[in-house]
Amino acid sequence: MTGFGREGNKMKILITGGAGFIGSHLAERLLENGNEVFVIDNLWTGKLANISKIQNHERLHLVIDTILNESVMNELIFKADQIYHLAAAVGVRNIMDHPVETLDTNVKGTEVVLRLANQFKKKVFIASTSEIYGKHVEHDLSEDDNRVMGSVKKRRWAYACSKTLDEFQALAYFDEKKLPVLIGRLFNTVGPRQTGQYGMVLPNFVQSALFGKPINVYGDGTQSRSFAHVNDVVDAITRLMDEPAAEGDIFNVGNNEEVTIKDLALKVKEMTGSDSEIDFVPYEKAYGPGFEDMERRCPNISKLKKAIGFEPSYDLESIIQSVIDYFKE
C-alpha cells in the first residue's frame, strides 16, 4: 500500500539524507513500490556506495547538495508529494567533533524543510531520535515522558537539544499552519550499510570480532540499548506516512528487546566465533573528560502498535546476523 496517492497513483517523494544508512534503505523501498524518488544528500555522512544498487534507476533523481541551499530545496519540495526529512548530523563521535555543523544541519535544515513544505502544503515526516529523552533510567520510554538533559556545557547533549527544537518546530507548523507533519523518534537502528565510523556500536563490534581485534566496550558495559533492524524501521515510517491519524503526533520507532552493551559484545563474539578480547574503555579515554551517556534506552512502542499494528520482525539475533553477513560480503 505504501506510496499511493488518493487516486491510487504513485507518488513523487523527496528524501533528505537519502544516501545515508536509513535513507538509502527507504529509497529502495519506495522505488520497489513504484514511486518516483528524489534524493538530496551532501555526502557528509551519506555515501554514494549506499545507493549504488539504485543509482541508475530511471525513477531515482539524485542531487548532491546541502538542504541549506534553499533554491534547490524549493524546486525539490515543489515537485514532491511527500517529504521524508532524514538529513541530520549523526553519531556520538561526529557530534562531539563537529558541534557547529550539528546545530546548523539539524536546526536550520529542518527550518528550511518545514518552511518550504508549508509554502506548498506538502506532507512531512521528521526523523527524530531517542536521544530526546536524555538521561532517563526509570522505565521504557513513552512519547509523553519528560526529558532529562545534562548541562549545556556537555557537548554530548547538542544533538538531543537540536532534535528537540526540530520537534517543536514541526508541531508548531502543524498547530499554527496546519502543515501535515508527523515525527518518528528513532531508537538505535542497525543493519547492512551502517558504518562504525561515527561511533555506531554494533558495526564496530562486528568488524572488530571478524578481524580479531579487541571489542571496545565504553564504560562498564551495563548501559542498555534496544536495537531495531532498518527494514522494520522503514516499514514503520512508511506505514505512518500512510496513516492520516498520525499527523501532528510523535511516535517511538524501534524494538523493545533490551540488551546491555556488555552482553551485546559477548553475543557478537559468540555468533562470529571470534577470539577477540573484550576491552572496557573509560568514557574519558574515548570522548574526553566529563562525557555523559544514557544508561538506558528502551522504547515503549504501544502507541506505534496501536496506530499501524506494528510488530518488529527481527529479533536481536537476526539483527546481529544481518550485520555479520554484510561485513562478510
Alpha helix locations (H) across 121-248?
158-177, 201-210, 230-241
What does the pLDDT average to over 13-26? 98
Highest mean pLDDT among 151-165, 183-197, 310-324: 310-324
Instruction: Pick 319 or 88 by higher pLDDT.
Output: 319
Taking only the tens place, the pLDDT of each residue in 213-271 is 999 999 899 999 999 999 999 999 999 999 999 999 999 999 999 999 999 999 999 99
Taking only the tens place, the pLDDT of each residue in 176-196 is 999 999 999 999 999 999 987
What's the chain's Rg over C-alpha atoms?
Answer: 19
In this prediction, residue 279 has a pLDDT band, given cuts at 50, 70 and 90, of very high
3-state secondary structure of 287: helix
What does the pLDDT average to over 3-18? 76
CB 254 within 8 A of CB 301: yes
The pLDDT of residue 101: 82
The pLDDT of residue 198: 61
Q: Return d(Cα 15, Cα 28) in angstroms, integer.
A: 11
The pLDDT of residue 7: 40
Nearest-CA neighbor of 254 among 183, 186, 314, 167? 186
Q: Return d(Cα 296, Cα 327) in angstroms, integer.
A: 27
Which CB contacts under 8 angstroms, 24+ apart, belong to 193-196?
Answer: 193/21, 193/24, 193/25, 193/50, 193/230, 193/326, 194/21, 194/230, 194/323, 195/21, 195/47
Taken in order 11, 66, 187, 200, the sign of the CA dihedral is positive
What does the pLDDT average to over 144-150? 82
Query: Active-site residue numbers?
Result: 159
| Vertex 169 angle, CA 76 and 128, to 5° | 80
Instruction: Pick 40 or 154 by higher pLDDT.
Output: 40
The pLDDT of residue 199: 64
Axis crossing angle, helix 70-79 with helix 109-120, rounded to the nearest 10: 40
Residue 201 identity? V
The pLDDT of residue 5: 45
**9-22 as b/e, with b when 16 or more CB fall inside 10 Å?**
eebbbbbbbbbbbb
CB 13 within 8 A of CB 37: yes
The separation between the first and the last C-alpha atoms of the chain, rounded to the nearest angstrom, is 32
For the record, the C-alpha cell of 309 comes out as 499494528
Instruction: Pick 97 or 37 by higher pLDDT.
Output: 37
The pLDDT of residue 283: 76
Instruction: Pick 40 or 162 by higher pLDDT.
Output: 40
φ, ψ for residue 307, nearest 5 deg: -75, -45
**Domains of the chain with CATH codes:** 12-190+229-255+297-313 (3.40.50.720)
Percent of the chain residues topping a pLDDT of 90: 74
Asked whether the predicted pLDDT for residue 284 surpasses 80, the reply is: no
Taking only the tens place, the pLDDT of each residue in 70-109 is 999 999 999 999 999 999 877 666 777 888 888 888 899 9
> Between β-strands 82-85 and 123-129, what pairing exists: parallel, antiparallel or unpaired?
parallel
In this prediction, residue 3 has a pLDDT band, given cuts at 50, 70 and 90, of low
Average pLDDT, the chain: 91
In this prediction, residue 6 has a pLDDT band, given cuts at 50, 70 and 90, of very low
